[in-house]
Amino acid sequence: MLARLDIDRFAIRSASVADAPEIARVQTSSWQTSYRGILPDSILDTMDTARRATMRREILLDGDALNLVAYDTTFGDLVGFCNAGRSRRQGPRVGELYEIYIVDRAKRFGLGRELFESTAAWCRAHQMTSLIIWVLEENHHARRFYAAMGGREGARTESSVRGFPVVELSYVWDAL
C-alpha cells in the first residue's frame, strides 16, 4: 500500500521491520512535544527509544495489522507513523487506530489526514464497519483533529501511563 500526498515534501508507505528504530525515534519525539504539560516530565524525559524499537519490531511482525510510515522525501527520514488493526475492546467488526504520531516539523502538511484516511480505507477493505481511537482526554490538539475528521466522542476510561493516572476518551466513526 503506497499513498502519495499532493505535496512533494512527504510521502507515506507501508512500514517494514527495518523501520523500527526510526519509528521509535518518531514516537519518542512526538510524545515529548505533544504530551509535555499533560504527562509528567519524568515520564517524557526518561523514554527509552531502544526499548521502544524492540517493541516496535514485534508490532511490525503482526501480519494482521496496518503499519504505515510517513517520510520526508528530501531527507529520507521518517516523520510519522500509524498502527491499526481490529479493536481490542469492541470486537472484530470495529477497527482501531492504535497509534498515530507525527513529529512537530511535519505537522500541518496533511500527513495526519492521509494516515487517518488510509486507515479508514484499510478497515473498509477488511470488512470493518466502524473505527475507534483512544486519546488522552487532556490532549486537546488531537481531540480537535479527530473531531475535524468526523469522529464523535464516545466512552471514557480511567487508565495510567507508567503509573500516572490519566483519562482516555474514545472517538468513534460509526460508518466507514
Residue 8 lies in a domain: yes
Structural domains in the chain (count): 1
Q: Characterize the bridge pairing of strands 152-161 and 164-173.
A: antiparallel
Residue 126 lies in a domain: yes
pTM, rounded to two decimals: 0.92
User: Dihedrals φ, ψ of 135, to 5°?
Assistant: -135, 145
Residue 137 lies in a domain: no
Q: What is the pLDDT along the chain (176 residues), one digit of tens a residue?
A: 445 554 578 999 999 999 999 999 999 999 999 999 999 999 999 999 999 999 999 999 988 899 999 999 998 899 999 999 999 888 889 999 999 999 999 998 999 999 999 999 999 999 999 999 999 999 999 999 999 999 999 999 999 999 999 999 999 999 87
Residue 69 lies in a domain: yes
Residue 103 lies in a domain: yes
Residue 169 lies in a domain: no
Residue 166 lies in a domain: no
Please tell me the distance from the alpha carbon of residue 102 to that of residue 63, in angstroms, as a whole number. 23
The whole domain housing 96 covers 2-131
Please tell me the distance from the alpha carbon of residue 138 to that of residue 37, in angstroms, as a whole number. 9
- Assign residue 88 the CATH number of its domain: 3.40.630.30
